[in-house]
Structure 1
Amino acid sequence: MNEQSDNRAGGGWSRRGVLSAAAAGAGAVAAVGAGAPAAQADGRRRGAPTFVLVHGSGSNSYGWSPVLAELGLRGHRTIAVDLPGHGAGACFPLSYQSPQDLDRLATEPSPIGGVTLADFAEHVVGVVRAAHRNGPVVLVGQSLGGATLNAVANRVPELIAHLVYASAFCPTRHTSVNDLMATPEGATSALFEIPPVRTPPELGVNRVNWRSADPVFFAAVKEALAADRTDTEVRALLATLEPDESAAIGSADSRGLADRWGRVPRTFLRFTEDRSIPLALQDLMIREADGTTPRNRFRVRSVPAPHVGPRDAAVWGDELERVAESYRQG
């Protein structure tokens, strides 16, 4: 596939723990906060979409800030959501603060342990309903956020003009995100090299100590998330991430249903340098989704970017504007 663009019609820790807790969804790019419309001036022009951005594991709306700014400057209505238990609602255990208490960090409970994929979907459905009053909605998800996209599209396909998976999980033939990561295509994920905090299963959380001073940890995180960034940029990224994710998200049945999710036009932004969701796994998800709805196949765009996405927010802007144009053309 062309590196720049490829248009097609279209128990214990280890794999389960790494998948949801590490940046399987550390999501977009790190920067300043969001959560509300970024621009109104030109965004109300007839037929213009509202972009609703969904973060991944351990992230929040803050991570979409450069994309919000870029789309806002281009005159688009854009909203970045904080999923339940994230953003202003995130829990930062006292043992995670400085000085850290690593023994306590391994056992300290978090309210996000009770959060489900249904909770995520309910929240985003509410945002989509509100945004839809102003016109078409383009729903964008990155990494673990793709599971939420599937769940939302299963519920309200009629409210979504287009789905965009930015190197995001899209189960169709495999039941869950965990099942996808257990495939041979997922076996090379660099997420498996990130040391987790080994919490007891009853806490219901996957936890990562992003504030660790261990150089081995830092090297593993940089390799998995942002190998093209400087060490300073990676440290800035880690400062925006949240330690906990609900373990229930990765194990939930998040298959896109052919008669619901499968009705919505969709695009896959294929990050060719992603070492967290390997290219082979991205391609597997695309093939399985296309096989599930052969009359509604992914439009595929290949972007030379690591897991956190393109360094230049203008690339995000260009790709999402292409999506808006494609759904207008049908």
Structure 2
Amino acid sequence: MTPTIVFIHGSNANSFTFAPLQRELALLGRRSFAVDLPGHGFDAMFPEAFQTQDAAGIAEAPSNLAGVTLQDGVDHLVPILKRAKDNGPVIVLAHSRGGATLSALGNAHPELIDRMVYATAWCPIDRPIGAYMALPEFGASVLDEAAAVLAADPSVLGAIRMNWRTGDPKLLAVLKESMLADGSDDEFRVFLASLQSDENLDVGGDARVNPETWGRIPKSYIRITKDTSIPVALQDVFIKEGNALTPDNPWDVHTIETSHVGFLVRPERMAAILAGLA
């Protein structure tokens, strides 16, 4: 039976960002489904203050993602994957922060996933996410500089709010480097416009993968070598730790020479890899 490839987006993103990849997969005869996690896609909110760039209004407007948890994302995915399983095997791909959701899903519901694919995605194995950020392999990341895009106090708002419509040229340059350094300025601005302002705070805390459940699902890691958000050296740490945790079920590894979201803008190579897995 033909597999369904299910996509889980990263931080402040949504199902829309997978549209070019889904088009390419359709031309290769592969079925796919892009998920909007709770509070994303057309369920997202943009405070009116974003239209006028009223900084005080942006900082103070309530967020519909306040209190939303990682578990809410898992609960949202379960009925979707059950329906997909009715039509054959299910491959689930997570990008970036979406890896935390995929890991939690694999821990709790391995029966719903026939293969996990992490595309330059977080995959805490030996330590929590925060501890990976202290490793030297994370040193090449520009995420600390990009954090200037924060537009509200997360502890007050109860969510993470980004002002992607900033006009600060230095910040825009850092954001481009963190996402799409190998893309044109126009491609970067189009991608930036697809992002939503808010993201939930909960990324799983100390949650790590469970070798008894997550560890028995076939898994692939797609290394993105020019990534300056999750450097390839850190991606290789996830691969090394995963192989040590489940030596009888090692990672199936692929490599794409692009930036953090480059494969979403130019999806041909990623589509070919996924078509092969399917």
Q: Compute the TM-score of the two structures, normalised by the length of structure 1.
A: 0.80
Per-residue deviation at 1:261? Answer: 0.4
Deviations 1:293-321 (A, max 9, x none): 11111111111010003243221211102
Q: CA RMSD in A?
A: 1.3
CA distance in 2, matches of 1:256, 1:135: 25
In the alignment, structure 1 residue 309 sits paired with structure 2 residue 247: no
Give SS of 1:113's match: coil
Whether the 8 Å CA contact 1:107–1:199 is kept in 2: the answer is: no
**Which among 163, 168, 178 is matched to residue 116 of structure 2?**
163
CA distance in 1, matches of 2:196, 2:136: 29
Match of 1:277 among 227, 230, 249: 230
Task: State yes or no: 1:149 paired with 2:89.
Answer: no
Q: Which has the higher helix share?
A: 2
Q: Which residue of 1 aligns with 2:28?
A: 74
Cα distance in 2, alignment partners of residues 107 and 224 from structure 1? 27
After TM superposition, the structure 1 = structure 2 runs for residues 110-125 of structure 1, keeping only pairs within 5 Å, are: 110-125=63-78
Q: Write the mapping of 1:1-330 to structure 2, written as runs, cut at 5 A.
A: 47-97=1-51, 99-175=52-128, 177-194=129-146, 195=148, 196-249=150-203, 251-310=204-263, 311-324=265-278
Q: Give the letter aligned to residue 182 of structure 1.
A: A
Give the secondary structure class of the aligned counterpart of 2:202. helix
Matched residues, number = 275
The residue type equivalent to 1:261 in the other structure is W
1:16-65 deviation digits (Å, cap 9, x = unpaired): xxxxxxxxxxxxxxxxxxxxxxxxxxxxxxx2210001100000000000
Amino acid at match of 2:196: E
Amino acid at match of 1:118: Q
2:199 aligned counterpart, secondary structure: strand
Q: Identity rate of aligned residues, in percent?
A: 43
Take 2:137 and 2:60, find their aligned partners in 1: how far apart are those partners? 33
- Specify the SS of the correspondent of 2:91: strand
Helix, strand or coil at the partner of 2:60: coil
1:162 maps to a residue whose letter is R
Alpha-carbon distance in 2 for matches of 1:260, 1:73: 34
Secondary structure of the equivalent of 1:239? helix
Runs of 5+ consecutive residues of structure 2 not aligned to the other structure: none
Counterparts of 2:61 and 2:131, CA distance in 1: 28
Q: TM-score, normalised by structure 2?
A: 0.95
| Distance of 1:191 and 1:64 partners within structure 2 | 22
Secondary structure (helix, strand or coil) at the match of 2:262 reads coil
User: Could you tell me whether the CA contact under 8 Å between 1:115 and 1:248 is conserved in 2?
Assistant: yes
Q: Distance in 2 between matches of 1:225 and 1:108?
A: 27
